[in-house]
Structure 1
Amino acid sequence: MFFRWEWLRPQLTAPIVPTLGPVHPDALAVGLFEDTLRAAGTGDFLPYDKDRRWGGEKDEKVLREDVVHQPGRTLVPTLTRRGRGTVKVFAYGLHGSVVEEAAELAAKLASVHDAAGARVVRPLGSDTTHPRGTRIQLKDFTDTPCPAPDSPVHPVTTWPASVQKTFAPFAEEMAADGLAFLHARMQAGRCGPVLTAAVDDRIVGAIGPMEIQPDAIGRPQLLPQYFAVLPAIRGQGLGRVLWQAAMYWGQSHGAAYQLLQTEVDGPSDRLCRAEGLSSLGFTHTTSV
């Protein structure tokens, strides 16, 4: 075993695992970190990796020979070849100097691997005074019932054909939010249901795909979704209706929880906070 839990556990201010992203606090264990090392040389997805639903090979891998693991700090570098390549160093440790060390390592490894990007990912605790970056939020489906939405939200495939046809231009307009990619997956029949809302027989908002997968300890997790509403329609509560419909779907289909990542103080962040989700901490990513 490479990682020592008695060293690593005090450094985990937020439940983030390299290449896997946020994990449920109950599933956070040294075995997850060990698994990322074993998977580094194979290109395979771990069975509980949320990205395995997209198929192909795992794009991001841990640079296992360059991991730094000591009592005061743990630096875990990863490499992705997507685009022009990016090295990320996950900086675990309670002292501010860990960020400087991670930045030096990221710059060095980006040069070694001819990667255009070098970044430092810093997990921060939920008690951070002035959080920046991304908030990790937990929706627990086991504590209270999720109400059905009070406005019509339907899978795109159940709308009349004339309404279904409006999804393509909607997806193209919201390409920056991942909807064009999602539409391509839908056309290939390679994803779960996508919930949508329409105004005047035109789709103006969507959330999906709706999919559930066991996590590392076997608990059913509602996987993250793409989520978008046309700018002209925002501010009317439609985003909340779509989100509530997704949570209702997840609970109704047996999910135990969902983990969400929201930009601090962004619209989705404010929505989740208003809905009473639990904050598990933050991640702040900086370019080197």
Structure 2
Amino acid sequence: MFFRWDWLRPQLTAPIVPALGPVHPDALTVDIFEDVLRAADTGGFLPYDKDRRWGGEKDERVLREEVVHEPERTFIPTLTRRGHGSVKVFAYGPPDSFVEEAAELAAKLAAVHDVAGARVVRPLGPTTTHPHGTRIQLKDFTTDPCPAPDGPIRPVTSWPATVQETFASFARDMATDGLAFLHARMQADQCGPVLATAVADRIVGAIGPMEVRPDAIGRPQLMPQYFAVLPEARGQGLGRLLWRAAMHWGQRHGAAYQLLQTKVGGPSDALCRSEGLTSLGFSHTIHA
């Protein structure tokens, strides 16, 4: 075993695992960190990796020979070749002085591997004051019912054909939110259902795909979704209706929880906070 849990556990201010992202606090064990090291050797997906559903090969992997693991700090670098490529160093440990050292490691490894990006990912606890970056939020389906919303939300395939045809233009308009990628997966029949809302026979918002899969400890998790509403259709409560419809779908299909990542201060962040989700901490990315 590489990691000492008595060293690493106190450093985990937020439940973020390199190459996997946020995980449920109950799944945050030494085994999951050992798993990502083993996966670095094979280049494959772990059975519970959320990206496994997209197929292909795992793009991001841990640079295991460069891991720094000490009683007061742990640096875990990862490499991705997507686009121009990047190195991310996940810096665990309370002192902010470690960030500069982590940035130097990221810059050095980016040069060694000839990639353009060098970043430090800093997990921060839920009580952090003036947080930046991404908030990690937990929706627990085992505590309260998630009723179906009263509004024009249904799977894309349940809308009339003339409305379904408008999804393509909607996806192009919201490509920066991942909807063009999602549309391609839908056309290839490689994902679960996508929920959509329409105004005047035109799709103006969507969330999906809707899929439930087991996490690292076998608990059913509602997978992350792409979620977008056209700018001109915002302010009417459609985003909240879509989100509530997705939570209703997840609970009805046996999910125990969902983890959501929202940009601090953004509209999705405000929505989730107003819906009473539990904040698990933050992920702050710093360019090296």
Give the TM-score category using the shorter length: over 0.9
Task: Kindly report which structure 2 residues correspond to 1:165-204, keeping only aligned pairs within 5 A, or say none.
Answer: 165-204=165-204
**CA distances 1:96-148 after superposition (whole Å, capped 9, x unpaired):** 11111110100000010001000000000000011100000000000000011
TM-score under structure 1 normalisation? Answer: 0.99
Amino acid aligned to 2:165: K
Give the structure 2 partner of residue 94 of structure 1. Answer: 94
In the alignment, the residues of structure 2 paired with residue 98 and residue 13 of structure 1 have an alpha-carbon distance, to the nearest angstrom, of 15
**CA distances 1:139-187 after superposition (whole Å, capped 9, x unpaired):** 0000000011110211001111111100000100100100000000000
In the alignment, the residues of structure 2 paired with residue 57 and residue 74 of structure 1 have an alpha-carbon distance, to the nearest angstrom, of 27
In the alignment, the residues of structure 1 paired with residue 41 and residue 57 of structure 2 have an alpha-carbon distance, to the nearest angstrom, of 12
In the alignment, the residues of structure 1 paired with residue 138 and residue 155 of structure 2 have an alpha-carbon distance, to the nearest angstrom, of 24
Amino acid aligned to 1:216: A
Give the structure 2 partner of residue 243 of structure 1. Answer: 243
In the alignment, the residues of structure 2 paired with residue 174 and residue 97 of structure 1 have an alpha-carbon distance, to the nearest angstrom, of 39
Amino acid aligned to 1:171: A
Structure 2 residue 279 is the aligned partner of structure 1 residue 286: no
Instruction: Give the deviation of 1:76 after TM superposition.
Output: 0.2
Task: Kindly report which structure 2 residues correspond to 1:51-70, keeping only aligned pairs within 5 A, or say none.
Answer: 51-70=51-70
TM-score under structure 2 normalisation? Answer: 0.99
**CA distances 1:202-228 after superposition (whole Å, capped 9, x unpaired):** 100000000011000000000000000
Unpaired runs of 5+ residues, structure 1, are none
The ranges of structure 1 where at least 4 consecutive aligned residues each deviate by more than 3 angstroms after the TM superposition are none
Give the structure 1 partner of residue 12 of structure 2. Answer: 12
Identity %: 79
Task: Kindly report which structure 2 residues correspond to 1:203-242, keeping only aligned pairs within 5 A, or say none.
Answer: 203-242=203-242
Amino acid aligned to 2:166: T
In the alignment, the residues of structure 2 paired with residue 96 and residue 246 of structure 1 have an alpha-carbon distance, to the nearest angstrom, of 38
In the alignment, the residues of structure 2 paired with residue 155 and residue 43 of structure 1 have an alpha-carbon distance, to the nearest angstrom, of 35
Q: What is the root-mean-square deviation in Å for CA atoms of aligned residues?
A: 0.5
In the alignment, the residues of structure 1 paired with residue 202 and residue 130 of structure 2 have an alpha-carbon distance, to the nearest angstrom, of 41
Instruction: Give the deviation of 1:42 after TM superposition.
Output: 1.1
Give the structure 2 partner of residue 39 of structure 1. Answer: 39
Unpaired runs of 5+ residues, structure 2, are none
Amino acid aligned to 1:173: D
Instruction: Give the deviation of 1:279 after TM superposition.
Output: 0.1
